[in-house]
Structure 1
Amino acid sequence: MRFADHKPVAVVVDGYSAGNFYPAAFAGLGAELVHVQSTPEFITTMSRPNLSAYAANVVGSDEAELVERLRAHSPTCVVAGQDGAVPMADRLGELLGVRSNGSALSPARRDKYEMIEALRSAGVRCAQQFKSTDPAAVVAWAQERGTYPVVVKPLSSAGSDGVRVCRTADEVRAAAENVLTVPNMFGTANAEVLVQSYLKGTEYIVDTVSADGHHYTCGVWQYEKTLLPSGRNIYNRDLLVDPESELVPALTSYLGEVLQALDVRWGPAHAEVIVTPDGPVLVEIGTRLNGNIHADFHDLCLGHNQAGLTAQAFVHPDRFIEQYGGRTYRKLRPAAVYNAPTTLDGVVASVDQSVVDEIAALDSVFTVSAKLRPGARISPTVDLLTSPLRAHLTADDDERLTADYERLTKLKDDVYHLA
């Protein structure tokens, strides 16, 4: 298929979940879109790409073949639709000679161990860590440090998958064995397990978009998390932070160091940072969209959204740099994203639409999504994937936002009736 010569072409690799916001963003700037599906079958743990939004879908993982087929479309850029697609998107962009972060530091932008070591080499404040294929070695490292808790996690995953806060050697061993025996959320086996020092402090999301090394902080959100007795630290609310807060410049400055250390010069980044007594410290960063993105919601609260900004950074970089380079977002309205936890355990018999409608009717609720359908398994929440309901909330004032959130917490488990 040959596209119109005057139109830019954007390539999206594995446009799952949040990546589904790219087609409208690029099309809004007059771009054509090509999708690369890296696996013969769709990955089932994420919302599949809407291929009807693309002019073409290229299936395969052979690098040389993909480059040849994509070169025929003269693409402007290659972007990752989800975390696992970052290395392929970096490599394809590099081989095609388009605007790209390149592949030299791709491992450090995906592998959590390499990520932190890259920061350490660059002199950027970071956690202490160790990795191994042997749970006993992981336990020994934690014991030798003599300071608990520690955090055990996979090297490459997302959405708090497999992450546990451990307070004893037995908990470390169990968590490490779990990582090594359970595939990550992308269906890939974990060959190694990572253990890191526990970072005490408040955790924040810092979202950015970059064009030719000019970074724009497009949102800072404070995490509310709940630490379960099992050591799982589950998501609750993300609260939009006032950019006038003294924390935002400190987080922005620190993340600038992180982006430089990881050679992130183009496109989106979604970082999780804990503000410790010593200052901000990176938990992890992904060069992809925030998984909680909802374009219309973010447009209302911030005046833009990360997908649209990314499209502009690649298609009109000069315009992006002039308007956004080195700057920080404005907060137009109080906002929160709620990933509802549950203690329900069983099979969903039905979804009570009247309760969903009652939630949707709350003044602050912009959108609500009941993730499960009849016949699906519902189980106690241990990570983002096992949260059965998500709501985006915004209001004219914080009091209304809080009141509706509290009402929502009382309604959430009435959405599902179990068999």
Structure 2
Amino acid sequence: MSTPWLVLVESNTTGTGRQFCAAARARGLRPIVLASDPSRYPYLDEDGYDRRVLDTADAAAVLQACHRLGDVAGVTSSSEYFIATAAEVATKLGLPSPDAPAVARCRHKDQQRIVLAGAGVPVAGFRLAREPAQAVAAGLGYPVVVKPSMGSGSVGVQLCPDRAAVERHATALLDAPVNERAQAVPRLVLVEQYVTGPEFSVETFDDRVVAVVAKHLGPEPHFVEHGHDVPATVPPGVATALGDTALAAIRALGLGWGAAHTELRLSAGGPVVIEVNPRLAGGMIPALLRLALGVDLVDAVVGRAAGRAVDVRPRPLAHASIRFAVADTPGVVADRTGLDAARATPSVTAAEFTVPVGADLAITHSFRDRFGYAIAAGEDPSTTADRARRAAAELHVVTR
């Protein structure tokens, strides 16, 4: 009897992509990654995973590849950019899947905002713009956040303090016909009121809040995530309000099957939804959930996609934090130092470089500027966070 396939449409370039394949193997499934360029994912060769090369932007091509494989137990993706395609294909194959139109709608931030606002879920004031002049005339005051209508990992998201900055950034976004994955994107940007206050994410599975996560961002005008803490050290009432707001957003969008990652700001008036992502969190947050709460959401996503039983009940164990090493100088990576020192830091459970020697570091003011990370776990949240920060600060790359 053949081992059923677990089909992964593309992958995260770091972290959880590799873990999805490992989780599938652990469940007795045969993982295979469908990719337009498998060389993006060195772990495929390192760990000996199957792959097929095809145009993954074409759902029909993905569906045909699945038909050729035969015994497919599930189709999913660890990548924000391909989760809608995976849902569409799984639905057509009669396999477990979230609501495919809801996932596709959620991927378009303009449609997401309209649905949430119409349902009374708190979101920032926003306007849609197809031309720079429309962005400038948004009438939301300053500063405002200007972002692409489709994207991930803070790519293209920028705080603009005045009219000139809005015009410059909106022009740059509108002049880009494709995203960083070479996918065609609509000529549309969002202009949003800037919501002040600390930022959090709420990790959910189905209709259950698994964790409230504290987010640490780099300096403005960009919004690069420099770290996360699990669980967020907030009063119980605040955690409940954040979780309830995230669940209201998920319900309004027609989600609530499997994992979702909702980002919020805690404003003076309460939680405000920044965006809902219809997939598992990135940024190594799943690793923190395993350490702090004993919940393996990577395994849960794989299991749910394959129609297997899952358990996402939190079992508090510790506090866990991650801090990223972020590049500030572009160039080709010639050397990497400090890994042993990072790993020797007390309470550190993992430290890694995420870019190899020879990689080209281009400063994009997004998640792609991160070149390494350190994770710590312990009983005291502030000590744990500090040790993750200290360990990440040991990591350095030399560029040429």
Indicate the TM-score class for this superposition, using the shorter chain for normalisation: 0.7 to 0.9
Please give the alpha-carbon distance, in whole angstroms, between the structure 2 residues aligned to 1:243 and 1:399: 13
Please give the alpha-carbon distance, in whole angstroms, between the structure 2 residues aligned to 1:396 and 1:216: 25
Contact 1:242-1:331 within 8 A present in 2 as well: no
SS in structure 2 of the partner of residue 285 of structure 1? strand
2:225 pairs with one of 219, 232, 235: 235
Contact 2:349-2:377 within 8 A present in 1 as well: yes
Aligned to 1:81: 78
Residue 216 in structure 1 maps to residue 212 in structure 2: no
Alignment of 1:141-180 (within 5 A): 141=138, 144-145=139-140, 147-180=141-174
Change (3 A) 1:346 1:87: closer
Residue 181 in structure 1 maps to residue 175 in structure 2: yes
* Cα deviation, residue 166, structure 1: 1.0
Query: In the TM superposition, what whole-angstrom CA distance separates every residue of 1:218-239 from its partner, at most 9, and x where no partner exists?
Result: 33211121333xx212322211
Please give the alpha-carbon distance, in whole angstroms, between the structure 2 residues aligned to 1:54 and 1:347: 28
1:416 pairs with one of 391, 397, 400: 397
Aligned to 1:275: 266
* Cα deviation, residue 123, structure 1: 2.7
Query: In the TM superposition, what whole-angstrom CA distance separates every residue of 1:66-89 from its partner, at most 9, and x where no partner exists?
Result: 435424634343212201102211
Contact 1:206-1:219 within 8 A present in 2 as well: yes
* Cα deviation, residue 24, structure 1: 2.0
2:226 aligned partner, one-letter code: N
Alignment of 1:198-347 (within 5 A): 198-210=194-206, 215-228=207-220, 231-240=221-230, 241-242=232-233, 245-293=236-284, 298-315=289-306, 319-320=309-310, 323-324=311-312, 329-347=314-332
1:341 aligned partner, one-letter code: V
* Cα deviation, residue 262, structure 1: 1.7
Change (3 A) 1:409 1:96: closer
Aligned length: 392
SS in structure 2 of the partner of residue 106 of structure 1? helix
Change (3 A) 1:406 1:287: closer
Aligned to 1:392: 375
Aligned to 1:35: 33
Contact 2:103-2:255 within 8 A present in 1 as well: no
1:164 aligned partner, one-letter code: Q
Aligned to 1:367: 350
RMSD: 2.8
Contact 1:107-1:115 within 8 A present in 2 as well: no
Aligned to 1:195: 191
Compare 19-28 and 168-177 and name the one that shifted more: 19-28
Alignment of 1:116-135 (within 5 A): 116-135=113-132
Please give the alpha-carbon distance, in whole angstroms, between the structure 2 residues aligned to 1:359 and 1:149: 38
Change (3 A) 1:152 1:300: same
1:19 aligned partner, one-letter code: G
Structure 1, unmatched stretches of 5+, are none
Residue 13 in structure 1 maps to residue 3 in structure 2: no
* Cα deviation, residue 8, structure 1: 5.3
Please give the alpha-carbon distance, in whole angstroms, between the structure 1 residues aligned to 2:315 and 2:233: 8
- Name the TM-score, length of structure 1 as normaliser: 0.83
1:81 aligned partner, one-letter code: S
Contact 1:297-1:366 within 8 A present in 2 as well: no
2:324 aligned partner, one-letter code: N
Change (3 A) 1:59 1:261: same
* Cα deviation, residue 150, structure 1: 0.9
* Cα deviation, residue 270, structure 1: 1.7
Please give the alpha-carbon distance, in whole angstroms, between the structure 1 residues aligned to 2:244 and 2:170: 34
* Cα deviation, residue 312, structure 1: 3.2
- Name the TM-score, length of structure 2 as normaliser: 0.87
Structure 2, unmatched stretches of 5+, are none
Identity of aligned residues (%): 23
1:356 pairs with one of 339, 344, 351: 339
